[in-house]
Amino acid sequence: MAAASQTKTYRMWIDGKWVEALSGATRDLFDPGSGELIARVPEGSQKDMSLAVDAARQAFDQGAWRKVSALDRGKLLFKVANAIRNESQFLAELEVRNCGKPLAEAEFDVADAANCFEFYAGLATKIHGQTLSVPANSVSYVVREPVGVCGQIIPWNYPLMMAAWKLAPALAAGNVCVLKPSELTPLTALELARIIEAVGIPPGVVNIVTGPGVGAGDELASSPKVDKIAFTGGTATGRKIMLGATSNLKKISLELGGKNPNIVFADADFEAAVDGALFGAFANQGEVCSAGSRLLVEKSIHSALIAAILKKIPRIKLGHGLTPGVKMGPLISSDHRQKVENYIKIGIKEGATLLCGGQRPSGAEFEAGNFLEPTIFDHVSPQMRIAREEIFGPVLSVIPFETEEQAIQIANDTEYGLAAGVWTKNVNRGLRVMNQIRAGIVWLNTYHPTFNEMPWGGYKQSGIGRELGLYGIEGYLEIKQININLDETPIGWY
């Protein structure tokens, strides 16, 4: 592991100024892998959020950003992308210290965040309306305009990447933003604010308020001065956000949880499916909305696949995310580990077969962190809670199936609909199954890759709307009809 970092005291970024919470309250943040104090951040409240919303409102209404040409907005966003790249090692290591993930995964996230800013920087100049042929003697056309003040609330599992997914399209479209990172992982978002200041994005256009969900977050969701709320987090919180948004019927987009099926047919490439099952379930410690946490396996290969998976489990090296070779870091907090451990107890009680894990790893290097072994349950029935509820940790539930129809039925038997994987060499079967899966992202013979060019989001209770790609910017644009009468004769109706 790299040398210990110095504890840094951060401030929030509101109206172009670095500020403490009005109350003076702060929160200490600890490295989830070592327990070391890494930073102190302001604990913003409803009052701080209210100030940030006022600043954003003013910035939008006075045109601080929407009147900047699309070309210049794009140029500034390109600069943000470059600055992220220039600081990628620092940002990746900070991400590891704050949220625990292995360094290689954090490096990927930082690169993705830069790519996201670059994608939307290029898109800023491609937002366009439409001219339509209409029956009357008039010119009618459609213009797209920014929605206004966008409130953005993000979770702790991909802190910088989620900040980029939210800010980049909103800013490209000419909106102003108030972003609330998770109270557990605000550090890279605050560093991003520093970058945003340095490249010259005007004051008040981006505001980053640190603080808890209740207080800072719900104020943002319910404020009548906010035009849109974009939320990524748990489904239960999403419901509350939706209720808050009714105050002024603000536009809303939600990226929520998942209980995603990863379906392996007997005719799949066996080794690829083994890797895909493990990566789908255990990347980012399983703290992934799209984790393939339900492994549906065709009965004829069930025993062989389980044996091959178990053989590879020892390769998932646990440890601090900065330790070379580590493949699985600690969970985000001891509370969260307890929640995951509780699900392990539930799985045992429900009668599932615990194949591996279920324990905290032993050894001095694990004592101060929130580590948990990768855990696999076999013979899980679709009715068990471990097959239905999002655990959000390194716990895989294996569910055997006999026929294609049964696999589809089990896959869709969930309140969620975020992602799914299908493993087969039979292209007809692959397409048949993918067509019938009710989810926003479906992978064939792979798991997890996604691109800034492609839409991200869920069916059913996994969300409302889509992020990323051309779809992602739509949610940050209003559509205005413009109608010009070319006939000067009075209409003479009365």
Residues in Cβ contact with 369 at an 8 Å cutoff, skipping those fewer than 6 apart: 31, 32, 33, 34, 35, 100, 320, 330
To the nearest whole angstrom, how small is the minimum distance from the Cβ of residue 274 to ligand NAD?
25
Residue 35 CB, shortest distance to ligand NAD, in Å, is 20
Amino acid at residue number 92? A
The answer to whether residue 207 forms part of the interface with ligand NAD (CB under 6 A) is: no
Q: Catalytic residue at 255?
A: yes
Compute the distance between CA of residue 413 and CA of residue 410 in angstroms, rounded to an integer.
5
Determine if 218 is a binding residue for ligand NAD (CB under 6 A): yes
Using CB under 6 A as the binding criterion, the count of chain residues that bind ligand NAD stands at 30
- Give the closest residue to 288 by CA, choosing from 100, 29, 111: 100
Nearer to ligand NAD, 152 or 424 (CB): 152
Residues 226-245 that bind ligand NAD (CB under 6 A): 232-234, 237, 240-241
Nearest approach in angstroms of CB 463 to ligand NAD is: 6
Residue 175 or 232 having the CB closest to ligand NAD: 232
223 interacts with ligand NAD by CB under 6 A:
no
Residue 256 engages ligand NAD in binding (rule: CB under 6 A): yes
Residue 277 contacts residue 286 (beta carbons within 8 Å)? no
Helix (H, G, I), strand (E, B) or coil at 137: coil
Where would I find the H helices in 155-298?
Answer: 159-172, 187-199, 218-222, 235-245, 270-282
Annotated active-site residue in 105, 219, 255, 373: 255
Per CB under 6 A, 465 contacts ligand NAD: no
Q: Does 440 engage in binding with ligand NAD (CB under 6 A)? A: no
Residue 461 CA, distance from chain mean position:
15
Map tokens 């992934």 to a residue: 288
Q: How far is the CB of 3 from ligand NAD (least distance, A)?
A: 29
Q: Which 139-158 positions form the footprint of ligand NAD (CB under 6 A)?
A: 153-157
Alpha-helical (H) ranges within 328-403 are 334-350, 385-388
Instruction: Determine whether 474 is an active site residue.
Output: no
Q: How far is the CB of 396 from ligand NAD (least distance, A)?
A: 16
Is there a contact between 241 and 221 (Cβ–Cβ < 8 Å)? yes
- Our finding on whether 286 is near ligand NAD (CB under 6 A) is no
Query: Applying CB under 6 A, does 29 fall inside the site for ligand NAD?
Result: no
CA distance readout (Å), 293 to 278, 326, 366: 10, 21, 24
From 188, 215, 198, 172, select the one nearest 52 (Cα to Cα): 215
Name which of 54 and 218 has its Cβ closer to ligand NAD: 218
Least Cβ distance, residue 453 to ligand NAD (angstroms): 16
Catalytic residue among 99, 116, 150, 289: 289
- Judged by CB under 6 A, which of 45, 152, 182, 223 binds ligand NAD? 182
Q: Name the residue among 286, 303, 393, 415 with its Cα closest to residue 340.
A: 393
Exposed e or buried b for every residue in 94-131, given b needs 16+ CB within 10 A? bbbbbbbbbbebbbbbbebbbbbbbbbbebbeebeeee
Stretch that binds ligand NAD, among 33-41, 138-146, 252-260, 369-377 (CB under 6 A): 252-260
What does the binding site for ligand NAD look like in residue numbers (CB under 6 A)? Answer: 153-157, 180, 182-183, 212-214, 217-218, 221, 232-234, 237, 240-241, 255-258, 289, 390, 392, 418, 458, 463
